[in-house]
Amino acid sequence: MTDTAHPFDPVTIGLVSVSDRASAGVYEDKGIPALQDWLGRALQNPITWVTRLIPDEQDGISATLRDLVDVQGCHLVLTTGGTGPALRDVTPEATLAVADKEMPGFGEQMRQISLRFVPTAILSRQVAVIRKQALIINLPGQPKSIAETLQGLPDATPPVHGIFAAVPYCIDLIGGPWIETDAAVCKAFRPKTAVRPVRG
């Protein structure tokens, strides 16, 4: 139930963990809990979570993304896993298949962050797209990497921006809810001309 007295807009977030073995119960999925932990600390909005744990199957991933946006009404969808060069890694292809627009800057920045740690970051193929009024972003599979790419490296010299700083304004521009972040976790950037819409 939505709290109508809450000062911030409710937001519906889809979380998709793509893993053959985790979806089969071979091991515990750590991607969705890591995403919920970070987003739960970063966002001040009331959140409705819609989670999916699915295998590395391109058609199934695309169908899941369409369902989360078109049926479940998610404003933001984050996937984790399936973005490397291995034959079973098809999350980027499945994501691009449902796209209205591609947003290449997100993938570029995620690779820049990861390159601070490992040279194999250039093998990652994360993409981000817009479908209707939702933003879909592929994230890395490891919980530590998820947090680094979302939050950035504020203590680095010079500091490195995380991708989530740009997410709220992107969602503004496609007609989604006004997302408020906790600046201690992630300071969202909006231009001075951005004005929070009055919602009836």
Dihedral over Cα of 138, 118, 189, 164: its sign: positive
pLDDT for 1: 45
CATH 3.40.980.10 is the classification of domain 11-173: yes
> Is residue 112 pLDDT above 50, yes or no?
yes
From 121, 120, 103, select the one nearest 160 (Cα to Cα).
Answer: 121
Any idea which residue has 């001040």 for tokens? 44
The model's pLDDT over 136-156, given as tens digits with 9 standing for 90+, comes to 999 998 999 999 999 999 888
> Is residue 16 pLDDT above 60, yes or no?
yes
> Is residue 20 pLDDT above 60, yes or no?
yes
> Is residue 12 pLDDT above 70, yes or no?
yes
Helix 31-42 × helix 143-151 angle, to 10°? 30
Domain boundaries, the chain: 11-173
Higher pLDDT, 4 or 128: 128
pLDDT for 21: 86
The model's pLDDT over 38-85, given as tens digits with 9 standing for 90+, comes to 999 999 999 999 999 999 999 999 999 999 999 999 999 999 999 999
pTM of the predicted model as reported, rounded to 2 decimal places: 0.94
Query: What sections of 2-116 are H helices per DSSP?
Result: 20-23, 31-42, 58-66, 91-96, 104-115
